């Protein structure tokens, strides 16, 4: 006998002894008017309990017998669900492996089989939706990710994929709506803020893009901060150029000044602001802007702008030479060499061969070939040892003409003139000017 049964029996035995001790007399039990029994009290108690137990056991047995078919059906359903789950997991694993191996069509077929077994399988809905989007099947991708978002409304991953579908299909307004829903779940999601900014730029809505970028700058930290500051200035610059093309010069200048305040290294904002001043004959403001630009960016393009201005004034040459000399003294390495070549070329154009030779005397061997050719020409002109042979003189003349050129620092593609974005690769603030 188990301890559990003993524990139940003992209290009952003690209770029976207690009742029999207190009630030694018999109980007159009448079943009918003529049929009656004299039964000891303890027998009546024990008999009643035993009858109750027997009735409960019979009732429980009947219940179990009636439940047998239901339990059998449940066992069958459980087994079927388990087999289905096992098959679904196996198919999903095969689909993930095919996707990892770069076999997109095979993966799509396997994900679809998973969905045939379980239409609400969230991972398969997301994966298959991405594959549909990459294949250009935008309605199918939207249907899959839309279903996933209804099944899991607060799932940021699903919402992000849905926003990507809208972006790929050119539905910017709906993309923005989904991205804003994501930000309601996590307002500090940098990835979502970046996508929202880009979505506003596609419309374009410069003010909202500006507000989103300010939110990004509040959250970002080094080393990405400088890159996002440049992006901020680019957004403001684009808005300024929109005003400029529409003839709203004052609004353009306001936006360019704002770009400079937000990012003091924004060369396009400086140059464009100076260009607007020059077109309005506000030369003092233009020169001040370009000088500040060079001081903050050290870009030779600023010197080119100043050179064009100084060449128009009687005393401009001296001021320009002084500006170049200060730039050479304050620069280092390759920038120093390039500025020295630019200074020498300027001096030679004015016949200042002695100064040009001095500017290039410390030119290192790895400096651009144009510098060494200009140095040879300056020395010969200075020393008066006849003239250069025709071939050498032709090289020198062509060098003077091509010593400075515009090129992109990112893709190295040449450009006809300075531009805020590279004409070839579109890089922001990539076009620079200097000796080749």
The angle subtended at Cα 324 by Cα 321 and Cα 330, nearest 5°, is: 140
Q: What is the pLDDT of residues 368-383, one digit of tens each?
A: 777 777 777 777 777 7
Residues 375 and 430 sit within 8 Å (Cβ to Cβ): no
Pairwise CA distance, residues 274 & 276, whole Å: 5
**Contacts (Cβ under 8 Å, ≥6 apart) of 390:** none
Cα dihedral value 119, 122, 125, 126, nearest 10: 180
Pairwise CA distance, residues 31 & 29, whole Å: 6
Residues 309 and 282 sit within 8 Å (Cβ to Cβ): no
**Contacts (Cβ under 8 Å, ≥6 apart) of 23:** 41, 42
- Residue 333, helix vs strand vs coil: helix
**What does the block give as tokens for 429?**
């603030």
Local structure of residue 25 (DSSP, 8 states): S
Residue 96: closest CA among 81, 114, 84: 114
Q: Which domains does the chain have, with CATH numbers?
A: 3-93 (no CATH), 220-297 (1.25.40.10)
Is the whole model's pTM more than 0.85, yes or no?
no
Residues 173 and 189 sit within 8 Å (Cβ to Cβ): no
Answer whether the bond into residue 223 is a cis peptide, omega within 30°.
yes
CA distances in angstroms from 204 to 171, 201, 242, listed in the order given: 13, 4, 11
**What does the block give as tokens for 383?**
């020393």
Residues with pLDDT less than 50, the chain: 1, 386-387, 390-391
pLDDT value for 390: 46
Residues 95 and 114 sit within 8 Å (Cβ to Cβ): yes
Pairwise CA distance, residues 91 & 132, whole Å: 19
Pairwise CA distance, residues 433 & 282, whole Å: 24
Q: Which residues of 207-241 are buried (b: 16+ CB within 10 A; e: fewer)?
A: ebbbebbebbeeebeeeeeeebbbbbbbbbbbbbb
CA distances in angstroms from 365 to 112, 354, 403, listed in the order given: 66, 21, 17
């Amino acid at each position: 006998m188990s301890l559990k049964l003993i524990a139940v029996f003992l209290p009952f035995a003690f209770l029976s002894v207690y009742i029999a001790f207190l009630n030694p007399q018999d109980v007159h039990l009448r079943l009918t008017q003529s049929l009656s029994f004299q039964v000891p009290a303890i027998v009546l108690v024990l008999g009643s309990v035993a009858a109750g137990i027997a009735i409960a056991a019979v009732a429980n047995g009947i219940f179990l017998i009636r439940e047998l078919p239901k339990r059998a059906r449940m066992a069958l359903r459980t087994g079927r669900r388990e087999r289905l789950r096992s098959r679904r997991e196996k198919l999903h694993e095969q689909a993930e492996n095919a996707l990892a191996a770069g076999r997109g069509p095979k993966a799509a077929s396997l994900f679809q089989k998973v969905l045939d077994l379980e239409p609400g399988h969230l991972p398969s809905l997301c994966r298959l939706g991405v594959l549909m989007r990459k294949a250009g099947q935008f309605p199918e991708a939207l249907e899959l990710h839309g279903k996933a978002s209804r099944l899991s409304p607060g799932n940021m991953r699903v919402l992000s994929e849905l926003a990507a579908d809208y972006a790929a299909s050119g539905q910017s307004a709906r993309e923005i709506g989904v991205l804003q829903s994501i930000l309601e779940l996590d307002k500090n999601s940098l990835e979502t803020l970046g996508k929202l900014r880009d979505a506003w730029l596609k419309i374009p809505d410069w003010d909202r893009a500006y507000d989103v970028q300010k939110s990004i700058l509040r959250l970002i930290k080094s080393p990405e901060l400088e890159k996002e500051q440049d992006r901020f200035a680019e957004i403001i610059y684009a808005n300024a150029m929109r005003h400029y093309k529409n003839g709203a010069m004052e609004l353009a200048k306001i936006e360019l000044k704002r770009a400079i305040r937000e990012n003091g290294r924004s060369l396009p904002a400086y140059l464009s602001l100076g260009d607007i001043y020059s077109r309005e004959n506000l030369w003092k403001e233009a020169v001040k802007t370009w000088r500040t630009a060079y001081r903050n960016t050290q870009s030779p393009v600023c010197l080119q702008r100043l050179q064009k201005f100084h060449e128009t004034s009687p005393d401009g040459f001296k001021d320009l030479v002084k500006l170049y000399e200060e730039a050479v003294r304050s620069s280092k390495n390759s920038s120093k060499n390039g500025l020295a070549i630019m200074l020498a070329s300027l001096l030679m154009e004015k016949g200042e061969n002695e100064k040009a030779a001095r500017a290039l005397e410390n030119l290192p061997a790895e400096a651009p070939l144009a510098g060494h050719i200009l140095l040879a020409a300056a020395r010969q002109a200075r020393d008066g040892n006849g003239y250069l042979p025709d071939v050498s003189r032709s090289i020198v003349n062509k060098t003077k003409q091509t010593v400075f050129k515009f090129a992109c620092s990112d893709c190295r593609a040449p450009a006809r003139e300075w531009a805020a974005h590279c004409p070839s690769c579109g890089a922001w603030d990539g076009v620079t000017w200097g000796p080749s």
